[in-house]
Chain A
Amino acid sequence: MTYNAGHYDVIVVGAGHAGVEAGVAAARMGAKTLMLTLNLDMIAFMPCNPSIGGPAKGIVVREVDALGGIMGKMIDQTYIQMRMLNTGKGPAVQALRAQADKALYSSEMKKLIENEKNLTVRQAMVEEIIVEDGVCKGVITESHAAYYADAVILTTGTYMRGKVLMGDLEYESGPNNQRPSLKLSSNLEALGLELVRFKTGTPPRVNHHTIDYSKTEIQPGDENPKYFSYETKENLVEQVPCWLTYTNEFTHQVINDNLGLSAMYSGAKRGTGPRYCPSIEDKIVRFNDKPRHQVFLEPEGRNTEEVYVQGLSTSLPEAIQHQIVRSVPGLENAEIMRPGYAIEYDAVVPTQLWPTLETKTIPGLFTAGQINGTSGYEEAAGQGIMAGINAVRKVFGKESVILDRSQGYIGVMIDDLVTKGTNEPYRLLTSRAEYRLLLRHDNADLRLTDIGYEIGLISEERYQNFLNKKRFIEEEKARLKTVTIKPTETVLQIMSEAGASPLKEPTKAYDLLKRPELEYEDIEGMIEPNPEINDEIKDQVGIQVKYEGYIKKAIEQVGRMLKMEDKKIPENIDYDAISGLATEARQKLKRIQPLSIGQASRVSGVNPADISILLVYIEQGHIARVAN
């Protein structure tokens, strides 16, 4: 027998990286929001690596921030090391990565959640979704509380039927020995959702005092750290370095000798693991010609001696893990504090979702994060905020917000998930984005602040600053077009220092900035400086001018893509009535229910002939003319 525990606009199940973004976004958009978590002490916990960001992922954090999310600000306040990656490459692929103070990140997030207006957070185990007339109405907990809501967002991470694996040891568990969620999976299956079994893993943690760092290489943070959030002005803290060491033949020997003991190699049928984050067993088996693999030693925080051994993710038995760890230079005497393990869990097949992250079969039920088959804190956060936004928009009767593939990595990720699905835990990579020159770290605000403001997650003050920034960028670009630079001594001096061939005749500053060797700072030395603009704006002007040709080309491509996105597929289209569609295409289209021709064309198994048939059908409403 349940008791009525109240009604909310939105319920978020889970308080991980997807859950907190969803919950805070919903609350800040004015929805009365309930957040249920298995353990209040594990809010926004990082069960695997102690870092946030990196290529593509770091840009997602920026996007979340531009939309008004919280991950960026939180990591800016709790980092122990900050690095800009790919600085030697083009602007499109530069990305920030922070080493996090895990415990601090989690406790600060808990504080934020507890103090958030409109947001109630409670410890509870959700076991059942309340569905009435096919529509999601709330959730029931194991303690018989029935919470009602107009929208429910599931962000269960790796907890659903979670199972920890280490050698022959296996037990039902969430990550880091948390209670698993054992009943919700079967409830979802009963409601008609298809689940898939994935796995991931984590390496052992060792005690800082037992590492001989002299045998490793130091990996310091940046001298002038940049920040994820556009609102973080400065938070200089003393940074903590990471360290690099390597596996060797002996390590590989130990692993090869004991491969049969690995939970993942013991022959039992297991969930699918990610290729981009392989266990050390996988690396040895799949690339056995490599004499060594990198191992990064990453501190887990300031107030702990635990060090994360990046690169040694494993499901080998504990006894073997000791041998492996101690075979690595610098770790000869290392004491494992927590062994590594693999974890299997249930995920929802994401092609069952609309691009709003609402399930197609159960209106009102949304899913976000690892439950959708992704991996990574940033991927979770990106989905979390979008699910939160769309749940509230739905409850409030407003139009949904869907980012397309040219607006953000978030758009790329969600489109990939709901259109193509994934057969392994999905991670964002820059190579997944067709328009990555447009999806830069530096311009996330230019891409998404308008949306964040419109939905009510960006403050008026921040928005005004943003508009000013935009104006300054345009004005400065316009100014550079009017200023002429002559080959004076100063100019030639600056050019030779920058390694640029000397200027021969007077040239517009704008055109000179296009030279690959010259940065905005160089040009600035040749003209009257603009006191109104800061470094961020200077960078932006430099990038926009220097890569103008490429950006223009990308924008043209986007234009063609958007044309296809604008061709909407009617909601009640009957694919069975369209003769001429190949059977595979028909089945896929019925399953995915793409919203546009553009989305349909990205469904695997739908070939160009099917698309042209679909186009003709939609445009003429009559298939008989297609093949004739």
Chain B
Amino acid sequence: METETITAISTPIGEGAIAIVRLSGKEAVQITAKVFKGKDLLNVDSHTINYGKIINPETNELVDEVMVSIMRAPKTFTREDVVEINCHGGMVAVNRILDILLSNGARLAEPGEFTKRAFLNGRIDLSQAEAVMDLIRAKTDKAMNVALKQMDGRLSGLIQRLRQDLLETVAHVEVNIDYPEYDDVEEMSHEMMRTKSKEVHAEIENLLQVAKQGKILREGLGTAIIGRPNVGKSSLMNTLVQENKAIVTEIPGTTRDIIEEYVNVRGVPLRLIDTAGIRETEDIVERIGVERSRQVLKESDLILFVLNYNEELSEEDIHLFEAVKGLEYIVIVNKTDLEKKLDLEKVREFANGRPMVTTSLLQEEGIDELEKAIANTFFSGEIDTGDMTYVSNVRHIQLLNQAKKALEDAMEGIELGMPLDIVQIDVTRTWEFLGEIIGDTASDSLIDQLFSQFCLGK
């Protein structure tokens, strides 16, 4: 097995009052003990939490007050010795602790390396491993829940059920082929195959639909703020950011003007797109031109469209309404502290059923309603998403899409009147793609199914 001890900050940087630095490997405890002042960690029981201080052993300087969890192999996440140092949140303390660990024998873990070790050590299956990958990157509480549920095997459970459905269908076709004179089982018909394919297809589509939400949970809801100049876009931006403790991330490889800010609005993570642009020029449409702004709008998951309560609806506003037609947007009528000049009925007409909120950002009014409206667009009014099975992993989504495509091929074959044993090839592929998600592609299960489902003799 691996000999090197790896370490990494395992909580999102900048978020939360507490951050965790994790170590895994043979020397995890020894390395921690070198930089820890408190109990003798080498002699504490496994799975205990120990209070103490992290010091820089070279200078004896105090770095942070911490709680240290000692978990010895094999009953750990990676099946290696694991140490978790709970320290104060923020950037400074956690980074210094990491530095000290690195200079005392640990190696910086590659992204997902803990999971990789867990996987290589046989601790978790593929889909669980991937859920953990997402866990590592999870940026919000919701995303954390999604990833956790997947680890519990919710997704594997659902996939397994779909696979079993398909397997029974395939076995039925197979038995017709391998035992053509066996008359106890009715001949599988195109109609039966069509029904079953449709059922499974709908379930996969459903999974992909929620996958979209899963992606949003992980990556944030791409959100654009639009409106004419001087309607209060930057106030809106600032309000959201202040209210919700933004994390500013420079996206590597892009120019400095693309900055994304993450804010968490009632459990919905918003990724405010192109905010620098808004700040500098007050208007992305103005800054990047109409064509590109349309593109940006199309790529957004949510558009916050700001109107001025104090001005009449202009040509420009109407243009913007056209630009957002068919997209997810919320109309925000701002500046209610000023005199009403806007025809709200007309706006409502243009909004055509989209949510509309009135605010006075200046006087901090209507912000609650706005946040509710944002949350509603994502959760369709239901914050409780406890029963949904999210797919939040890119590979899973890809495989689900492949499975869906294979099933569509099968359905096309059925419509064309292809023999069922030909159609079945695509159904089997669907079954295999789904199997890849949960890391199970053993083809023996078909043979087993065949013999348990049917009494065969000839």
Inter-chain CA distance A86–B110, complex, in Å, is 55
> Is B122 located at the chain interface by the 8 A CB criterion?
yes
> Is A579 located at the chain interface by the 8 A CB criterion?
yes
Those of A299-323 within 8 Å (CB) of chain B:
310-311, 313
A296 & B458 in contact (Cβ 8 Å cutoff): yes
Task: Pick from A296, A437, A579: contact of B1, CB below 8 A.
Answer: A579
Chain B's closest residue to A87 (CB) is B180
Write out the residue numbers on chain A whose beta carbons fall within 8 Å of the beta carbon of B171: 431
B451 & A430 in contact (Cβ 8 Å cutoff): no
Chain A 266-303 against B: per-residue CB contact (8 Å), 1 yes, 0 no?
00000000011110000100110010011010000000
Inter-chain CA distance A235–B271, complex, in Å, is 78
Task: Pick from B117, B184, B418: contact of A516, CB below 8 A.
Answer: B418
A90 & B119 in contact (Cβ 8 Å cutoff): no
B168 to chain A minimum Cβ distance, whole angstroms, is 13
B2 & A311 in contact (Cβ 8 Å cutoff): no
A558 to chain B minimum Cβ distance, whole angstroms, is 13
A278 & B178 in contact (Cβ 8 Å cutoff): no
A434 & B422 in contact (Cβ 8 Å cutoff): no
Pick from A481-489, A505-513, A604-612 the stretch touching chain B. A604-612
A422 to chain B minimum Cβ distance, whole angstroms, is 10
What is the count of residue pairs linking A and B with beta-carbon distances less than 8 angstroms? 110
Given contacts A294-B182, A628-B4, contact A283 B425 (CB under 8 A): no
A360 to chain B minimum Cβ distance, whole angstroms, is 23
User: Which A residues form the contact surface with B (CB < 8 A)?
Assistant: 55-56, 85-86, 89-90, 92-93, 244, 275-278, 283, 286-287, 290, 293-294, 296, 310-311, 313, 420, 429-432, 434, 437, 516-517, 547, 550, 553-554, 579-580, 582, 604, 607-609, 613, 627-628
> Is B203 located at the chain interface by the 8 A CB criterion?
no
> Is B394 located at the chain interface by the 8 A CB criterion?
no
Given contacts A432-B447, A582-B122, A607-B439, contact A294 B417 (CB under 8 A): no
Write out the residue numbers on chain B whose beta carbons fall within 8 Å of the beta carbon of A429: 174, 178, 447, 450
Inter-chain CA distance A55–B175, complex, in Å, is 10
Given contacts A89-B419, A89-B420, A628-B4, contact A609 B120 (CB under 8 A): yes
Taking each of B184, B419, B420, which has the highest tally of chain A beta carbons within 10 Å of its own beta carbon?
B419
- In addition to A90-B418, A90-B421, 18 A-B residue pairs with Cβ atoms within 8 Å of each other are A86-B177, A275-B451, A278-B457, A293-B184, A293-B457, A294-B181, A294-B182, A310-B458, A311-B458, A430-B174, A431-B177, A516-B416, A517-B417, A553-B425, A608-B126, A609-B120, A613-B120, A627-B2
A437 & B425 in contact (Cβ 8 Å cutoff): yes
Q: Count the B residues whose beta carbon is within 8 Å of the partner chain — how many? A: 43
Taking each of A90, A547, A608, which has the highest tally of chain B beta carbons within 10 Å of its own beta carbon?
A90
A290 & B457 in contact (Cβ 8 Å cutoff): no
Chain B 1-12 against A: per-residue CB contact (8 Å), 1 yes, 0 no?
110100000000
A89 & B176 in contact (Cβ 8 Å cutoff): yes
A424 to chain B minimum Cβ distance, whole angstroms, is 9
> Is B183 located at the chain interface by the 8 A CB criterion?
yes
Write out the residue numbers on chain B whose beta carbons fall within 8 Å of the beta carbon of A276: 451, 456
Inter-chain CA distance A313–B456, complex, in Å, is 12
Chain B 162-201 against A: per-residue CB contact (8 Å), 1 yes, 0 no?
0000000011001011111111100000000000000000
A278 & B174 in contact (Cβ 8 Å cutoff): no
A287 & B455 in contact (Cβ 8 Å cutoff): yes
B414 to chain A minimum Cβ distance, whole angstroms, is 11
Write out the residue numbers on chain B whose beta carbons fall within 8 Å of the beta carbon of A283: 455, 457
A220 to chain B minimum Cβ distance, whole angstroms, is 13
Q: 18 A–B contact pairs at CB < 8 A?
A: A85-B180, A85-B181, A86-B177, A89-B421, A90-B420, A90-B422, A244-B181, A276-B451, A277-B457, A296-B458, A429-B178, A430-B178, A434-B443, A516-B417, A550-B422, A582-B120, A627-B113, A627-B117
Inter-chain CA distance A403–B421, complex, in Å, is 24
B109 to chain A minimum Cβ distance, whole angstroms, is 10
A416 to chain B minimum Cβ distance, whole angstroms, is 9
Chain B's closest residue to A275 (CB) is B451
Inter-chain CA distance A276–B177, complex, in Å, is 14
Given contacts A294-B181, A294-B183, A516-B418, contact A554 B425 (CB under 8 A): yes
Inter-chain CA distance A608–B170, complex, in Å, is 25
Write out the residue numbers on chain B whose beta carbons fall within 8 Å of the beta carbon of A89: 176-177, 419-421
Write out the residue numbers on chain A whose beta carbons fall within 8 Å of the beta carbon of B451: 275-276
Write out the residue numbers on chain A whose beta carbons fall within 8 Å of the beta carbon of B457: 277-278, 283, 293-294, 310-311, 313
Chain B's closest residue to A435 (CB) is B425
Chain B 136-159 against A: per-residue CB contact (8 Å), 1 yes, 0 no?
000000000000000000000000
Taking each of B421, B422, B455, B457, which has the highest tally of chain A beta carbons within 10 Å of its own beta carbon?
B457
A437 & B422 in contact (Cβ 8 Å cutoff): yes
A225 to chain B minimum Cβ distance, whole angstroms, is 17
> Is B442 located at the chain interface by the 8 A CB criterion?
yes
B1 & A55 in contact (Cβ 8 Å cutoff): no
Write out the residue numbers on chain A whose beta carbons fall within 8 Å of the beta carbon of B450: 429, 431
> Is B116 located at the chain interface by the 8 A CB criterion?
yes
Write out the residue numbers on chain B whose beta carbons fall within 8 Å of the beta carbon of A56: 178
Write out the residue numbers on chain B whose beta carbons fall within 8 Å of the beta carbon of A86: 177, 180, 421
Inter-chain CA distance A582–B124, complex, in Å, is 13
B456 & A627 in contact (Cβ 8 Å cutoff): no
